[in-house]
Amino acid sequence: MSLLYPLVLSSALFGIGLYGVLARRNAVLMLLGVELMLNAVNLNLVAFDAWFADQLHTGQVLTLFTITLAAAEIGLGLAIVLALFRAVRTVDVDEVGR
Amino acid sequence: MIRRWSYVGLTAVLAIAVAIWAIPDLRERGWFAYAPDGGPSLTPPLPTLSPDLFLYPTSAQIVLLAVGIGLLVQIYSTAYLGHHPRYRSYALIIVLFLVAMIAVVGTTNLWTLLVGWEVMGVCSYLLIGHEWETAEARAGAAKAFLITRVADLGLVLAIIVIGETYGTYDLLGAAPFAGEGHHSTAIGLLVLVAVVGKSAQFPLHSWLPDAMPGPTPITALIHAATMVAAGVYLAARLFPFYADSTVVLTAMAVVAAITMLMGAVLALVQVDLKRALAWSTVSQLAFMVAAIAAGDPEAGTDHLISHGVFKALLFLGCGCLMHAVGSSALSAMGGLRRPMPVTFWTMTIGLAALAGVVPTVGFFTKDSVLHAIQHATAGDDGLAAGTAWALLAVALLTSLVTAAYATRLWLRAFFGAAAEGQDVHEAPHAMTGPLVVLAVATFALSIGQPFHLGMGVVSTLVAAAGVGIVVLAHRDGSALDWSPAPLAAELGLDRPFSRWIPAVVAPVSRLVVDLDRDAVDVYPRSSAGAAGLGSRALELVQSRNAQRYATIVAAGIVVLVVVGVVLT
Q: B478-516 pLDDT, tens per residue?
A: 666 666 666 666 666 777 777 787 788 888 999 999 998
Q: Summarize the confidence of residues A5-13 as an average pLDDT.
A: 93
Asked if residues B299 and B371 have their Cβ atoms less than 8 Å apart, the reply is yes
Q: B167-200 pLDDT, tens per residue?
A: 777 777 666 666 565 677 888 888 888 888 888 8
Cβ of A22 and B554 within 8 Å? yes
Average pLDDT, chain B: 81
Q: What are the backbone angles phi and psi of residue B26, rounded to the nearest 5°? A: -80, -5
Tell me which of B286 and B473 has the higher pLDDT.
Answer: B286
Which residue from A minimizes the CA distance to B554? Answer: A18
pLDDT value at B54 more than 90: no
Q: Which residues of B touch A23 (CB under 8 A)?
A: 547
Helix (H, G, I), strand (E, B) or coil at B53: strand
Percent of chain B with pLDDT over 70: 89
Percent of chain B with pLDDT over 90: 5
CB atoms within 10 A of CB B525: 11
Which residues are within 8 A (CB) of B312 and not within 5 positions of it... i.e. 6 or more apart? B69, B72, B73, B220, B221, B223, B224, B225, B438
Q: Which residues of B touch A15 (CB under 8 A)?
A: none
Cβ of A23 and B547 within 8 Å? yes
Q: Residue A19: its pLDDT value, please?
A: 92
pLDDT value at B33 more than 60: no
pLDDT value at B448 more than 80: no
ipTM of the complex: 0.80
Q: Residue B486: its pLDDT value, please?
A: 62
B565 touches A: beta carbon within 8 Å: no
Q: Residue B396: its pLDDT value, please?
A: 86
Cβ of B554 and A18 within 8 Å? yes
Q: Residue B444: its pLDDT value, please?
A: 82
Cβ of A94 and B545 within 8 Å? yes
pLDDT bin (cut points 50, 70, 90) of residue B42 is very low
Most confident segment among A47-51, B88-92, B366-370, B371-375? A47-51
> pTM, whole model, 2 decimals?
0.73
Q: B118-154 pLDDT, tens per residue?
A: 898 888 888 888 888 888 888 888 888 888 888 888 8
A21 touches B: beta carbon within 8 Å: yes
A1 touches B: beta carbon within 8 Å: no
A22 touches B: beta carbon within 8 Å: yes
pLDDT value at B106 more than 90: no
Cβ of B547 and A18 within 8 Å? no
Q: Residue B44: its pLDDT value, please?
A: 57
Q: Residue B180: its pLDDT value, please?
A: 60
Q: Residue B484: its pLDDT value, please?
A: 67
The least confident of B299-303, B322-326, B438-442 is B322-326
Q: Delineate the domains of chain A, giving CATH numbers in brackets.
A: 4-97 (1.10.287.3510)
Which residues are within 8 A (CB) of B9 and not within 5 positions of it... i.e. 6 or more apart? none
Start-end of H helices in B227-340: 227-237, 239-242, 246-269, 273-293, 297-325
The least confident of A62-66, B245-249, B475-479 is B475-479
Asked if residues B230 and B101 have their Cβ atoms less than 8 Å apart, the reply is yes
Q: Summarize the confidence of residues B46-68 as an average pLDDT.
A: 77
Q: Residue B557: its pLDDT value, please?
A: 92
Q: A27-77 pLDDT, tens per residue?
A: 899 999 999 999 999 999 999 998 888 888 898 999 999 999 999 999 999
